Amino acid sequence: MATRDEILAAAQRHLNIDPRASMAVLAAAAGVGRATLHRHFASRDDLLHELGTRSLDRWEQSLDAADARGVAASGDAGRIRACLTDLFARYLADSDDFGFALTDSYLTSAPDLMTRSDRLAEREVELLSAAQAAGVLRDDVSSRWLTHAVYGLLVAAREAVREGDVARRDLDALVLSTFLKGASS
């Protein structure tokens, strides 16, 4: 019998391939019947909410593990650049697991998930603002714009790997250099 965590992991893997998959398809992907899936999650929204919560957990864990707040407070350009490198690697690893969460409409409409997402984005803005103040990132755009650029790069990375345009092994360096240097020559 599959555990709740095994069902969630299978659903998550399948949603990365087919974000619109039905509960029946997700049950089959997890190797359980629909009744078993529904014992764990009353609806598709309940399942998505749990996966959204886990995705936000990973975002928060990445910020904590990179010590984004402490590094931002230091104002040290070298530490900030190293933190950004670490954070992008973590974000890309998380997007391998939670890629569907970047664009799923349910996750952008659940009020509690959005509130938590906004709080985490504020932590990211703190780091990006410190990076601007330290001269690591350009300061002629808002740090909020840079946060949107991070998100856009993660979506682009997910799609590029899915479509075979970029090898996963090249993604960390490509995304980081695109963020830090832009598309200029």
* Per-residue pLDDT reduced to its tens digit, 46-63: 999 999 999 999 999 999
- Residues found in the chain: 185
* Res. 185: pLDDT tops 60: no
pLDDT digits (tens, 9 = 90+) for 149-182: 999 999 999 889 989 999 999 999 999 999 999 8
pLDDT digits (tens, 9 = 90+) for 112-146: 999 999 999 999 999 999 999 999 999 999 999 99
Mean pLDDT over 84-105 rounds to: 89
pLDDT at 109: 87
DSSP per position, 90-124 = HHHHHHHHHGGGGT-TTTTT-HHHHHHHHHHHHHH
pLDDT at 43: 94
Complete domains list, the chain, with CATH: 1-42 (1.10.10), 45-181 (1.10.357)
Identify the CA nearest to 12 among candidates 57, 43, 62, 54: 54
* Res. 103: pLDDT tops 90: no
pLDDT band at 96; cut points 50, 70, 90: confident
The model carries a pTM of 0.90
* Res. 184: pLDDT tops 90: no
- CA distances 143 to 122, 134, 136, 148, 185, Å, are 10, 13, 12, 9, 23
pLDDT digits (tens, 9 = 90+) for 37-48: 999 999 999 999
How far is residue 89's CA from residue 87's CA, in Å, rounded to a whole number?
5
pLDDT at 157: 93
pLDDT at 137: 95
pLDDT at 51: 94
